[in-house]
Structure formats: structure tokens, C-alpha cells
């Protein structure tokens, strides 16, 4: 597919974000990555902007530079912060970092790209949420902000539908990213219990999420908006 539409992906340096970039490039899009650190193996032909996405003013400046070059058809709000801890142990100062990285930067990116999408008469916004929004022990701050993505997605979908812009969310379940593998040792009983609870009998891969993003990003996916799509191997229904 040689559509050559431009897409911005936040948190693009590794894990799910990197996989999303690879899939969208394979589908023929022009992809721009943005994250705190540029990977050593990032292709020279693919734009990458280095910025701490938790720093509001720096993000605004970088977005102004990005959008000055050309309008963007798509946005994938992937960057995220995963604070952990049970209720009695929470450090509420981490709440503000979680809001900045899981919610505010999504708003800033959408605001910056929206004029370009409107000029094109079409657009796609995909917000990466989490299954944890349904509730998960030791994830109060994370689940709170990820649940906010669901409401944000539904509201934007209503506001932008008349502009030809769809807005959807993807809520991954357990995905074998660097963070997940570091935090969930294979020999740990809780990890083994989690993996055993997945109905499809395997852990998810970043490519599974990237495939869902590709679906929502497709021009032909114009009658689906305001939805939250779980990429979880059936855990969300299995738990019910």
C-alpha cells in the first residue's frame, strides 16, 4: 500500500511503539517517531524527534516544528508511564507524572495535529490504553489514567466525527515488551498464574498491538470511532 500519509507515533523508541512504527512503514505510511531517546538502529530515512514527553513546553515546541513541515493524517498516542504500588504504599507525586505522560501529552499531540487533519479532510487518532483500566492490583495510578483514555477517546470521537477524523483506543493485555519481561520473571508464581489465565494460551507480542493500530489507521476504517479494542488474548472475557 503506497498511501504515503504521514503518521506521528509517540513513545516510538521500543516495545509496542517501535513495533507500531515498523508495521505502519510496511503498510506504506510515512512515520515520524518521537520519544526521549533515539534508538541507535533507528533508520536515517525516518524522522525522529528526541524530547522528554513529560515536559509540556518542550513537547509543544517539538510539535510546532513537526507540524510546520506537513499535515499529518494519523496520530498514535502510545507513550506511557507505569507507576506501581498498592494503595497503602502509593506516592501520590507519581500521579502528576502519570497524568502528564498518559493523558496530557495525548492532548498536546492531538491539538497540534488537528489543524492538519482538518485541512486534509480526514484523520485517524489511536490512543493506547490498557486492560488495567478495568482494574488491576498495584496499579491505582496507572489504571486511573488509562481509564481516562477511554473517556477521552469517546469524547474526541464525538467532537471530530464531522471532520472525517476517527478516534479509537486499543487496550493491550499482557504483552511481551521489555518492561513486562523485566517486571514479570518467568519463574515467578504470579507470572505463571497470569500466563495460564490467557485463553489463547500465549502471551501477546508487540506485533499484535501494531496490527490493531494498522486496522484503525486504514482509510477504509471510517465507520468505526469512539471504540476501545482489547488486544488481550481473551483475558478480559475469561475473567468474566
pLDDT, residue 3, reads: 57
Give the span between the Cα atoms of 110 and 127, in whole angstroms: 10
Residue 149 DSSP SS3: helix
The pLDDT tens digits along the chain (240 residues) read 445 899 999 999 999 999 999 999 999 999 999 999 999 999 999 999 999 999 999 999 999 999 999 999 999 999 999 888 999 999 999 999 999 999 999 999 999 999 999 999 999 999 999 999 999 888 999 999 999 999 999 999 999 999 999 999 999 999 988 877 776 777 788 888 888 889 999 999 999 999 999 999 999 999 999 999 999 999 998 765
Q: Map out the domains of the chain with their CATH numbers.
A: 6-178+205-234 (3.40.50.720)
Bridge partners of 230, per DSSP, are: 171
pLDDT, residue 93, reads: 92
- Rounded alpha-carbon distances, angstroms, from residue 146 to 31, 126, 193: 25, 13, 24
54, 101 contact by CB (below 8 A): yes
Residue ranges in the chain assigned as alpha helix (H): 15-26, 56-67, 93-99, 105-120, 140-160, 178-183, 189-196, 206-217, 235-238
Backbone angles phi, psi at 114, to 5 degrees: -60, -45
Q: Which residues are catalytic?
A: 142
Amino acid at each position: 500500500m503506497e498511501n504515503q500519509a504521514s503518521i506521528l507515533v509517540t513513545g516510538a523508541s521500543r516495545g509496542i511503539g517501535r513495533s507500531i512504527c515498523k508495521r505502519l512503514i510496511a503498510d506504506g505510511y510515512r512515520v515520524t517517531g518521537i520519544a526521549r531517546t533515539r534508538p541507535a538502529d533507528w533508520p536515517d530515512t525516518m524522522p525522529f524527534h528526541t524530547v522528554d514527553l513529560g515536559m509540556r513546553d518542550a513537547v509543544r515546541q517539538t510539535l510546532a516544528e513537526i507540524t510546520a513541515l506537513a499535515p499529518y493524517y494519523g496520530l498514535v498516542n502510545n507513550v506511557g508511564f507505569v507507576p506501581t504500588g498498592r494503595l497503602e504504599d502509593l506516592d501520590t507525586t507519581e500521579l502528576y507524572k502519570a497524568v502528564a505522560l498518559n493523558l496530557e501529552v495525548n492532548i498536546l499531540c492531538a491539538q497540534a495535529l488537528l489543524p492538519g487533519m482538518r485541512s486534509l479532510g480526514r484523520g485517524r487518532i489511536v490512543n493506547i490504553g490498557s486492560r488495567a483500566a478495568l482494574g488491576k492490583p498495584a496499579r491505582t495510578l496507572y489504571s486511573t489514567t488509562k481509564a481516562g483514555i477511554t473517556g477521552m477517546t469517546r469524547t474526541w470521537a464525538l467532537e471530530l466525527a464531522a471532520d472525517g477524523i476517527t478516534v479509537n483506543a486499543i487496550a493491550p493485555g499482557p504483552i511481551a515488551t521489555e518492561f513486562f519481561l523485566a517486571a514479570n520473571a518467568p519463574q515467578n508464581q504470579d507470572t505463571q498464574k497470569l500466563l495460564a489465565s490467557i485463553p489463547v494460551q500465549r502471551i501477546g507480542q508487540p506485533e499484535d498491538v501494531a496490527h490493531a493500530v494498522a486496522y484503525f489507521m486504514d482509510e477504509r476504517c471510517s465507520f468505526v470511532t469512539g471504540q476501545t479494542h482489547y488486544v488481550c488474548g481473551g483475558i478480559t472475557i475469561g475473567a468474566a
